[in-house]
Amino acid sequence: MGDNILLTILCFVVMVVAPYLISGVNSAIIVTKIKTGEDIRTIGSGNAGLTNTLRTQGKLAALFVLLGDILKGVLSILLVHFCFKLLLGVDTYANDGYAWINYCAGVCAVLGHIYPVYYGFKGGKGILVTFSTMLAINWIPALILLGIFGIFVAITRYVSVGSIIAASCYPFAVLLFSYMNGDPNMWFNFIPAAVIGFFLVFMHRANIERLRNHCEKKLGEKSK
């Protein structure tokens, strides 16, 4: 990978910049602005994400946000993969130690969603974008984490609880499946996954406080 320094630098610049800029385009902000002219960050829970869109804008608007966030996460990973593949001949999907590139791109995508340059660095919490990037990297652990999320939401009726637990499990799921796939750099995969997990839990700190105070809204409750 280091034979051509300029191409290598270019690929790493793409790995950092492209996912950040792509994922910085916030579907919840755009859909809400088109539908009502309002800024979703000023209504409901104030979060520019799927759950707040569902509660304040309805199911159809939430569907567009869901599709938009999945699309931008998948596109971020695929763009980085093809850049390394075409310019350097590095296959980030092969089990030869380069999967960490995808996970690092995932970090940049999540940070772009949470701190978007287009919206004053105030975006969403990153759960759906994390799921979509993981879906693009390795769909098996992605679906397992989705299952964990669904189980805890079904039990508690709190979306935030499912999100926090799934986020906490994320780096360990990456480590486990990297080990099972025989990835020689599995710890290089774990580190960016752990960074993502940290940011996801950190972005739910207000939810954690509301859970402690028994004032967190349950699934299905409307926000005013």
Is residue 22 scored above 70 in pLDDT? yes
Predicted confidence (pLDDT) per residue in 137-189, tens digit:
999 999 999 999 999 999 999 999 999 999 999 999 999 999 999 999 999 99
Compute the average pLDDT of residues 59-86. 95
What whole-number distance in Å separates Cα of residue 181 and Cα of residue 179? 5
* Tokens 């763009």 -> residue: 79
What whole-number distance in Å separates Cα of residue 150 and Cα of residue 40? 25
Q: What per-residue confidence (pLDDT) applies to 55?
A: 87
- This prediction's pTM: 0.90
What whole-number distance in Å separates Cα of residue 220 and Cα of residue 9? 47
Compute the average pLDDT of residues 100-126. 95
Residue-level length of the chain = 224
Compute the average pLDDT of residues 61-82. 95
**4, 88 Cβ separation under 8 angstroms:** yes
What whole-number distance in Å separates Cα of residue 204 and Cα of residue 200? 7
Crossing angle of helices 99-114 and 5-23, in 10° steps, is 40
Instruction: Tell me the percentage of the chain whose pLDDT exceeds 70.
Output: 96
Compute the average pLDDT of residues 16-43. 95
Q: What per-residue confidence (pLDDT) applies to 165?
A: 97
**192, 133 Cβ separation under 8 angstroms:** no
Q: How far is CA 82 from CA 4, 33, 55, 89, 188, in A?
A: 17, 33, 37, 9, 20
Residue 96 pLDDT level (bands cut at 50, 70, 90) = confident
Q: How far is CA 30 from CA 24, 34, 66, 157, 203, in A?
A: 11, 6, 12, 28, 21
Predicted confidence (pLDDT) per residue in 196-219, tens digit:
999 999 999 999 999 999 899 887
